[in-house]
A and B are shown apart, each in its own frame.
Chain A
Amino acid sequence: MGAKTLAAVMLVIAAGVVGGLYLLSAPHPVNASSLPQHVPDPTNGEVMYNAGGCISCHKPAAGQGEGDATLPSGGVPFNTPAGTFYPPNITPDRETGIGAWSDANFVNAVQHGISPDGTHYIPAFPYSSYGRMRVEDVLDLKAYLFSLPAVKGERRPPEVMLGSVGEAVMRRATGLWKLLRGDARRIVHHADESGPWNRGAYLVDAPGHCGECHTPRNFLMIPIASEKFQGGPHPEGKGKVPSLIDLVGRKRYKDADDLANALRFGETFGYDKLSSGGMGAVQTNLSKLPEGDIKAIATYLVGLTGSRSRQ
């Protein structure tokens, strides 16, 4: 075989690999017909909104929108090792927000990380966790967001290497990341555990997306399942995210009630461990949940011990 033939063969293989990866990375949105018949409940949607901590990332940038800091009109920079992203406006404004979105658009975005124009969202948006939510809860969340006042926001492209080309490559490559990560599994109900435990497991693992920070990731930025909730480096590079394992044994909290008080009242009850590194905002969001849900979260979390196989 001559050098030219060899080069040609290599080129064909390379093209095949690139083409194969391209095909593999394609987004697969769900159809409207696959969604359940559901009458949405915005009150439950608000619970999902607070459990999901939507406002933490989608809070309005200073001077943006009509200046209501409680509305998720977006724009505050989110710094990651891959670049700076500007979480979008999720108020129901038709032009700059999600006001024109269908239910399927919303479910695809929140649960599958696929935008209405069919590209992958960068996983700084924790759709891997939201993918575990019940679809009904996601539709309720949409109903809640659509009940908020529409605010005009500004759309800003991310600041990443190589600009818009870099962004396109990163978005497409996210499809491969999704394949490697595997599908988000729905939360299984464990009949031998209490109602609050099961509710807590759901809130923590699905909307709460606690593992996004509290579970360490491997070099591909995929959470390491066998080290779930064991803590790790802070995503913004300063300090550590603490482990959630054995919170009582390690004398972090006395019991589930103590942890529930900490989540609900924070520093007002003298609990100062939850207000740094971004957890302060999480605690603020969680404090707005119904008391029973906060207790459920605490019940599940104090049950996470090293020896316990089920997490």
Chain B
Amino acid sequence: MSNRRVLTVASGLMAVTLATSAVLAASPIEDRQAAMKAVGKAMGELAKIAKKEKKFDAATVKADAQTIHDKLGTAKGLFPEGSDKGHKTRALAAIWKDRSTFDAALERAEKASLAMTEVTSEDQFMPAMNKLGGACKNCHDKFRKPEE
């Protein structure tokens, strides 16, 4: 194989690698959407208690809060630079323009969800829920596009 040929093959391989990594790079959007969906589902369960559609139960509250906390923990790493494109997303460019505010907003939600895992009685529930809901809203207000 001539040098030139090696170069051609090598650059071909590189192109494939780059294309693959481009596809992989698109996946944080789907991954964080899946994480947020799971957060939303667990939040929906907690909301049923807030709306008095479901009885307060410390064990299920803890489990749902843990899900929210875990998923928010994974979501943190799923907003890499440049992941505002390549897939349908409601993430606003403001996330990357004002990264420190975004990180602080996500951390506030993580902390609020952690506090919810520590709720053991019904009278602790609503104050914790107000904080958690407020933290979700705080981030969505600033960094999420309206629905299409």
Instruction: Please state if A276 and B133 are interface contacts (CB–CB under 8 Å).
Output: no
Interface size on B, residues (CB 8 A): 24
The size class of the interface chain A forms with chain B is: 20 to 34
Which A residues are CB-close (under 8 A) to B35?
none
Closest to A258 in B: B51
- Residues of B98-138 whose CB lies within 8 A of A: 129-130, 132-134, 136-137
CB distance from A110 to the nearest CB of B (A): 26
Contact of A277 with B136 in the complex, beta carbons under 8 Å: no
> In the complex, what distance in Å separates the CA atom of A304 from the CA atom of B147?
20
- Give the distance to chain A from B76, nearest Cβ to Cβ, in Å: 19
A residues within 8 A CB of B47? 268-271
CB neighbours of A196 from chain B (8 A)? none
A240 to B90, CA, bound (A): 11
Contacting pair A242 B146 (CB below 8 A): yes
B71 at the interface (CB under 8 A from A): no
Q: Which residues of B contact A267 (CB under 8 A)?
A: 43, 133-134, 136-137, 140
- Contacts A238-B92, A239-B90, A275-B136: A269 and B145 contacting too (C-beta < 8 A)? no
Q: In the complex, what residues of A have CB within 8 A of residue B148's CB? A: 239-240
Residue contact B141 to A276, C-beta cutoff 8 Å: yes
**Most chain B beta-carbon neighbours within 10 Å: one of A261, A265, A268, A269:** A268
Shortest 8 CB-CB distances between A and B: which pairs? A270-B47, A268-B133, A280-B141, A277-B146, A267-B133, A239-B145, A275-B140, A276-B144
Residues of A within 8 A of B (CB): 234, 238-242, 261, 265-273, 275-277, 279-281, 283
